[in-house]
Structure 1
């Protein structure tokens, strides 16, 4: 499952990713998330793209009250948890090995009276998409899910199938990431809506369909 090998001699800059837990104050809540790089690799740590997307949502840039939201590649669940705390009905998804950690973080951080607005579900991009009906969601969220080139076709198929507005938060590291954005623009109307220069994180908004008008 681990896409990045675990290394006991981690660089100091990455040491926070190897901690067993991490904490944030977002959406007027203290959020404490378990991490498990050793077992699950990149799927089980909080990356800057997730933090920036949460801050973007917290700032009120998107009306989440009562919206049906699905998060792809949720990992620790930070983005989906924050979206739920801000009033959305959220389905947070990842591959099967990540679901135990994801579910535990939801139980730990979502108040009991809001647990009903949260669903943890298995979703491997491009597979069994019939379980997620097109039009079932108002918004798709993804934080740092644009990094593994072989997953790009399946990710694009999943976004097209879900047929909802998309917010992608990512760091553009390589030419392959630019190629993904080019492919995305062939399918959606895409614009950059925010850039965090300190963390070098972009947030892109993709419309439900391509058109000559801006979103």
Structure 2
């Protein structure tokens, strides 16, 4: 979601983020995602949360074939691409500065035999939501999008707009700071939230959410 300036970092654990590409195999397809940390920062590298989300989707615990799916803060587009390979009709979104990069990754990794489809679209959380159908999606995906506290209100607002009573939200993230748990508390004001998967090696949690039923006021 956020575009941050490039800062050289010598930590070995972060060196993979500075590679010009990252390669994966999901849904019986070899994927090669371009990365561009210097130009787009966090929006243009594959984070562990995206990988774990793809692993979870590939488990088949969520029905994807023919489903209307939207990915928020897509970055490189890995999650949305995999969802399409698994049969979903996906709208992959991010902020305008990341769209050309995102579109190039989608084009390079969307094979002709893909069961689903992909559309790349601009979405800044909390803005221009009328361009997206209210409650118009079966599944909302977000990988490592919970990290900027200033965007939390807009993110919840966006989720509330996109979700119907039957929409499922899947969020994959690390719990790094208190603000991360604060976001989950904020989300619980409008959604039921439960942890459904934890990948210990990468320390990634996957949460499933759906809208709270309307309150009856007496």
Q: Distance in 2 between matches of 1:111 and 1:187?
A: 38
Q: Distance in 1 between matches of 2:10 and 2:44?
A: 16
1:209: Cα distance to partner? 2.5
1:7: Cα distance to partner? 2.6
Please tell me whether residue 56 in structure 1 is matched to residue 59 in structure 2: no
Q: Distance in 2 between matches of 1:115 and 1:121?
A: 20
TM-score normalised to structure 2 length: 0.93
TM alignment of 1:52-201, pairs within 5 A: 52-114=52-114, 117-163=117-163, 164-201=167-204
Between Structure 1 and Structure 2, the one with more strand by share is: 2
Q: Deviations for 1:175-210, whole angstroms, at most 9, x for unmatched residues? A: 011100001111101110001111110000001324
**Structure 1 stretches of 4+ moved >3 Å:** 1-5, 113-116
User: Are the equivalent residues in 2 in contact too, given 1:65–1:86 (CA < 8 A)?
Assistant: yes
SS at match of 2:188: helix
SS at match of 1:186: coil
SS at match of 1:93: strand
Structure 1's 184 and 56: CA in aligned 2 closer, same or farther, altered over 3 A?
same
1:211: Cα distance to partner? 7.9
1:61: Cα distance to partner? 1.3
TM-score normalised to structure 1 length: 0.94
SS at match of 2:41: helix
Q: Which residue of 1 aligns with 2:209?
A: 206
Q: CA RMSD in A?
A: 1.8
Moved more, 157-166 or 113-122: 113-122
Q: Distance in 2 between matches of 1:115 and 1:58?
A: 14
Gaps of 5+ in 2: none
1:116: Cα distance to partner? 7.2
TM alignment of 1:5-16, pairs within 5 A: 5-16=5-16
Q: Distance in 1 between matches of 2:115 and 2:138?
A: 20
Q: Deviations for 1:74-105, whole angstroms, at most 9, x for unmatched residues? A: 00000000000000000000000110111011
Please tell me whether residue 23 in structure 1 is matched to residue 26 in structure 2: no
1:167: Cα distance to partner? 0.2
Between Structure 1 and Structure 2, the one with more helix by share is: 1
Q: Deviations for 1:93-136, whole angstroms, at most 9, x for unmatched residues? A: 00001101110111101113549711000000000000011121
